[in-house]
Amino acid sequence: MLLKLEKETHAQMHTLEAIMASLIMVAIIVYTVQATSLTPLTSSTANAHIEAQLQTMGQDMLNALSYSAYGHDSDLKTDILNWDGKQYVWNGTAYSTIKSPIYELQSSSLARTLEFIAVRRGIAHNVYFSWVDEEGVTASRRYIYNGDPSNNAVVISKRVQLSNGDIGNVTDFETRTGIPDADNSTDFYNIVNVKMALWRM
């Protein structure tokens, strides 16, 4: 009888030890999960937050530049119409061509906006103009290029419609920019998709 009581006591002690060990393990797991929960300082959350900020910033820039008062072209359309077909890069003080650094991008509202907002905040950026030709093939050329975007880059776009009346000399414009007249039978010329890539350096 005494031996039986000792065995039961040992069994209860082992059960109690197992329960205590389980409680300790659960407490450690709960503490670990709370200590490593996602906060605004966590890498993935911070990246998502920065990407959302860049997306909003880029969209606001393109929306502001595409606004036009009645009877006037938007700044974005004016930049496309004045484009000489060259690619520009930020050289530390201005946007200039690669082959002729002395030749700087003049009277570009998009360039001024990027310089004021993106450059001052250390945000790298590329701008592309793309369009569809008469055969339905999409073509794209760089307007401002500052290197290959990172994996966290965001891309924002805005479409701008051009008409023959906007352009004036159609042959000269196509020669300069490569943007063709998509429909020779109407006043419609083409739609240019302005794509902007933004990323943190």
Q: What is the pTM of this model?
A: 0.74
* Distance between CA atoms of residues 48 and 157, nearest Å: 20
Q: Where are the beta strands (DSSP E) in the chain?
A: 88-90, 95-97, 123-132, 138-144, 154-163, 188-200
Give the tens place of pLDDT for each residue, 95-118. 988 776 667 787 899 999 999 999
At what angle are helices 109-117 and 43-66 packed, to 10 degrees? 150
Give the tens place of pLDDT for each residue, 122-170. 999 999 999 998 788 899 999 999 999 988 899 999 999 999 999 988 9
β pairing state of 138-144 and 123-132: antiparallel
* Distance between CA atoms of residues 63 and 110, nearest Å: 11
